[in-house]
């Protein structure tokens, strides 16, 4: 008869794995991917180093799990901001604003999620992460076409362009942290940068609103 884990044992294993992923995310948020080592994560999670390998095949698998945890949390926050019954263009503006604000406020983690080199496992997760944002933006654009507030257009192209714009606008500031930021830290201009990003993205959407109306939304 095959061995079957009891619910208590499975719960303990799940808790140990969760603690490891939480510790890895904490390391990334503080020092980027280079700060994540098997030894440091085990120490932070208060387990033996060998325990890490009972849950993950290797360090890359641990990094991928940490990316999924952190990126999934950010994506959910943006999805929540885009919920509700407001017009699609207003929900899109809210999603863009939350994405930008959280990136600039939590810049170390944002850089790790957006662009910091971390190996093939994380790169694969990063592609999925970007796809998640494209799908949510596309859904709001589709809703706008359906209710007549947004003109018909290639939703996939515009959604991809919005994701690309967010990445390009934000990656410089979030990368310029610590000693690299210098005296003229671009993070000091957070509010202006967020406003400019949201306004620019909304202008890329072929809405039936006037420019004044879009300005009020942004």
Q: What CATH number does residue 84 fall under?
A: 1.10.357.10
Q: Categorize the per-residue pLDDT at 3 as very low, low, confident or very high, splitting at 50, 70 and 90.
A: low
Please give the average per-residue pLDDT across 131-157, as a whole number: 96
Is the CA virtual torsion 201, 202, 206, 210 positive or negative? negative
Q: Categorize the per-residue pLDDT at 182 as very low, low, confident or very high, splitting at 50, 70 and 90.
A: very low
> Does residue 22 fall inside a structural domain?
no
Q: Categorize the per-residue pLDDT at 207 as very low, low, confident or very high, splitting at 50, 70 and 90.
A: confident
* Region class of 2: left (phi > 0), else alpha (psi between -120 and 50), else beta: beta
Tell me: pLDDT of 181 over 90: no
User: Of how many residues is the chain composed?
Assistant: 218
Q: Categorize the per-residue pLDDT at 187 as very low, low, confident or very high, splitting at 50, 70 and 90.
A: low
Cα-based distances in Å from 109 to 114, 148, 193: 9, 38, 18
Q: Categorize the per-residue pLDDT at 2 as very low, low, confident or very high, splitting at 50, 70 and 90.
A: low
Q: What is the pLDDT of residues 85-133, one digit of tens each?
A: 999 999 999 999 999 999 999 999 999 999 999 999 999 999 999 999 9
Q: Categorize the per-residue pLDDT at 215 as very low, low, confident or very high, splitting at 50, 70 and 90.
A: low
> Does residue 23 fall inside a structural domain?
no
Mean residue pLDDT of the chain comes to: 89
Is the CA virtual torsion 81, 86, 92, 94 positive or negative? negative
> Does residue 101 fall inside a structural domain?
yes
**Residue predicted with more confidence, 55 or 213:** 55
> Does residue 151 fall inside a structural domain?
yes
What are the backbone dihedrals phi and psi of residue 209, each rounded to the nearest 5 degrees, phi first? -85, 160
Three-state helix/strand/coil letters over the chain: CCCCCCHHHHHHHHHHHHHHHHHHHHHHHHHCHHHCCHHHHHHHHCCCHHHHHHHCCCHHHHHHHHHHHHHHHHHHHHHHHCCCCCCHHHHHHHHHHHHHHHHHHCHHHHHHHHCCCCCHHHHHHHHHHHHHHHHHHHHHHHHHHHHCCECCCCHHHHHHHHHHHHHHHHHHHHHCCHHHCCCCCHHHHHHHHHHHHHHHHHHCCCECCCHHHHHHHC
> Does residue 6 fall inside a structural domain?
no
Query: Which residues sit opposite 150 in a β-bridge?
Result: 207
> Does residue 167 fall inside a structural domain?
yes
> Does residue 182 fall inside a structural domain?
yes
Domain span at residue 104 reads: 63-217
Helix axes 88-105, 59-81, angle to 10 degrees: 140
> Does residue 154 fall inside a structural domain?
yes
Q: Which residues contact 60 (CB under 8 A, 6 or more apart)?
A: 119, 120, 121, 122
Domains held by the chain: number: 1
Whole-angstrom distance, CA of residue 19 vs CA of residue 38? 13
């Amino acid at each position: 008869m095959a061995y079957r884990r009891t619910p208590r044992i499975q719960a303990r294993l799940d808790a140990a794995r969760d603690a490891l992923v939480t510790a890895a995310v904490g390391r990334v948020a503080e020092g980027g991917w280079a700060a994540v080592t098997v030894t440091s994560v085990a120490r932070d999670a208060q387990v033996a180093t060998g325990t890490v390998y009972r849950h993950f095949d290797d360090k890359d698998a641990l990094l991928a799990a940490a990316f999924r945890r952190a990126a999934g949390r950010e994506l959910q926050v943006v999805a929540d901001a885009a919920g509700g019954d407001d017009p699609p263009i207003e929900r899109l503006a809210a999603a863009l604003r939350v994405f930008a604000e959280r990136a600039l406020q939590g810049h170390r983690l944002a850089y790790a999620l957006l662009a910091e080199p971390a190996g093939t496992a994380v790169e694969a997760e990063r592609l999925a992460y970007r796809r998640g944002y494209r799908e949510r933006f596309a859904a709001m654009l589709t809703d706008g076409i359906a209710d007549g507030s947004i003109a018909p257009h290639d939703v996939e192209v515009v959604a991809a362009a919005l994701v690309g714009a967010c990445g390009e606008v934000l990656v410089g500031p979030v990368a310029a942290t610590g000693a690299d930021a210098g005296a003229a830290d671009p993070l000091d201009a957070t509010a202006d940068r967020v406003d400019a990003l949201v306004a620019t993205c909304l202008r890329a959407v072929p809405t039936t609103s006037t420019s004044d109306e879009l300005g009020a939304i942004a």
